[in-house]
Amino acid sequence: MLGEDGDARAVVAGGKQYPADMVFLALGIRPNVRLANEAKVHLGETGAIATDWKQKTSDESIFAAGDCCESQDIGTGRKVWVALGTTANKQGRVAGDNAAGGYSVFKGITSTAISKTFDIEIGRTGLTEKEAKKLGLDYETVVVDVRSRFATCPGARKIRVKLVFERVGGRLLGGQVVGEDGVLARTDVLACALFNRMTVEEASRFDLAYAPPFAPVWDAVLVACNVAVKKVKTR
């Protein structure tokens, strides 16, 4: 990366120089399991530390939590490694409670996350279509565009919702939300539906808050679920 006084001017890649005003770095990470290896604690299929529902490792006296250990994906039951502060804090609470003689369980995650680039908010929870396809699941998708608030209210912006769900039965597998307003709320609603392993039909009946400055009568999540219901097969 080339620049002056902390400002990016160009990026050199593959022997070529590309002019740039701004550079985004997307760097991969790996779980730090050095201490676990030294303690001869078992690692899981993801390469992170394997734990049970109580965050206990293969050594009865050792608990693990956070970016070093695996989680269970609630939607599929598979082991996943998702390094997020939200997951780390919940696991730490469970591990601490059990290590101190209490009883707590960590049921798993839906890989819910949100980001923002300039004015564009991007949220996700559960599986993406690419992930569902890789897992060989029988799925369907829908994409809808709805206003984030009542159309005539200040701040109303287009919001796009994509749902991934089982073709037969309609259980929700994942969702992504993109827009300039209201992405967080819609992502969290979908996360709740995923956490409880709900179908798109069940989620379409959510009694969500409505007032013109905040949302349309038919919220984006409800619209997406209603469209999805039409594509669900009974068998």
pLDDT of amino acid 92: 98
Total domain count, the chain: 2
Cβ within 8 Å of residue 125, ≥6 positions away: 110, 111, 112, 113, 174, 175, 187, 190, 191, 194
Taking the C-alpha atoms of residue 206 and residue 226, their distance in angstroms, rounded to an integer, is: 11
| Regions of the chain short of the pLDDT cut 70 | none
CATH of residue 161: 3.50.50.60
pLDDT of amino acid 164: 99
Residue at 10 is within a domain: no
Residue 127: closest CA among 167, 176, 185, 88: 176
pLDDT in tens, 116-129: 999 999 999 999 99
Same domain, 54 and 136: no
Instruction: Give the range of the structural domain holding residue 50, as residue numbers without chain letter.
Output: 34-99
Taking the C-alpha atoms of residue 217 and residue 153, their distance in angstroms, rounded to an integer, is: 13
Same domain, 54 and 81: yes
Residue at 147 is within a domain: yes
Could you tell me how many residues make up the chain? 235
Same domain, 78 and 152: no
Residue at 133 is within a domain: yes
pLDDT of amino acid 227: 98
pLDDT of amino acid 23: 86
Same domain, 83 and 134: no
pLDDT in tens, 24-72: 888 889 999 999 999 999 999 999 999 999 999 999 999 999 999 999 9
